[in-house]
Amino acid sequence: MSGTSAALTPPADALAPVRHPDAPAPGELLGAHYEQCFGCGGEQPHGLHLQARAGEGVALTAEFTVRAAHQGAPGLAHGGLLTTALDETLGSLNWLLRTIAVTGRLETDFVRPVPVDTVLHLEAEVTAVAGRKIYSRATGRIGGPDGPVAVRAQALFIEVKVDHFIDNGRPEEIQAAMSDPDQVRRARAFEVNP
């Protein structure tokens, strides 16, 4: 059984998403938006190290391997961690719009358990845009693109300015991010000018 709350249904005047002309080419790896990100960063030893790859239109694929540090029940991935993978995958879609956005709402259906060592293959797409609101959905399959569905999610991301992070983030991490040329380069991929 699954359901979707009204907040995740685009309004009647929502528009189809438009891929930014400078979006990474289909097949290109997106890379981490922040090396300390639990979802995609390389500097989080127990993080997901999720890798997202641009698809056609405003869609992408992503993969991560469930590791022992990701367990909830013995030998099985924690559900919240799977939601994190979906959040990260859906958030990566904003690279293709070149919009900075944060998760406002995220609903997950857990369809089947995901054992440790599974490669979870995720597909995600933006379905509609209404002002600052970005509607999207994702599916996670076990083992590869033709594997059985394990998780599904629908989300609403809200566009924000870079001040969202500067005003709310802990100053030491914000200062470190702003003095790191690689981080500035990544932020510019979102058309941010920190």
Ligand X SMILES: CCCCCCCCCCCCCCCC(=O)SCCNC(=O)CCNC(=O)[C@H](O)C(C)(C)COP(=O)(O)OP(=O)(O)OC[C@H]1O[C@@H](n2cnc3c(N)ncnc32)[C@H](O)[C@@H]1OP(=O)(O)O
Indicate whether 133 belongs to the interface with ligand X (CB under 6 A). yes
CB distance 140 to 151 below 8 Å: yes
The interface with ligand X within residues 77-96 (CB under 6 A) comprises 87-88, 91
State in angstroms the smallest separation of the CB of 144 from ligand X: 24
| Nearer to ligand X among residue 66 and residue 156 (C-beta) | 156
Largest CA distance in the chain: 48
| Nearer to ligand X among residue 110 and residue 190 (C-beta) | 190
Indicate whether 111 belongs to the interface with ligand X (CB under 6 A). no
Reported in sequence order, the residue ranges of the chain that DSSP labels E, i.e. its strands, are 51-54, 59-65, 101-110, 119-130, 133-142, 149-159
Indicate whether 178 belongs to the interface with ligand X (CB under 6 A). yes
Q: Which stretch binds ligand X (CB under 6 A): 23-31, 54-62, 142-150, 184-192?
A: 184-192
State in angstroms the smallest separation of the CB of 90 from ligand X: 7
Indicate whether 33 belongs to the interface with ligand X (CB under 6 A). yes
List the structure tokens of 46: 């127990």
| Nearer to ligand X among residue 120 and residue 177 (C-beta) | 177
Q: Chain-centre distance of CA 166, in angstroms?
A: 20
Q: Which stretch binds ligand X (CB under 6 A): 45-53, 64-72, 138-146, 156-164?
A: 156-164
Name which position in 100, 138, 142, 153 contacts ligand X (CB under 6 A): 100
Taking each helix axis as running N to C, give the angle between helix 171-178 and helix 181-188, from 0 to 180 degrees, rounded to the nearest 10.
90
| Nearer to ligand X among residue 14 and residue 76 (C-beta) | 14
Per this entry, what is the length of the chain?
194
**Nearest in space to 108 (alpha carbons), one of 135, 132, 77, 85:** 85
Cross-sheet strand order for the sheet of 149-159: 51-54, 59-65, 119-130, 133-142, 149-159, 101-110
**Interface with ligand X (CB under 6 A):** 7, 33, 87-88, 91, 100, 102-105, 131-133, 156, 158, 160, 162, 165, 174, 177-178, 187, 190, 192, 194
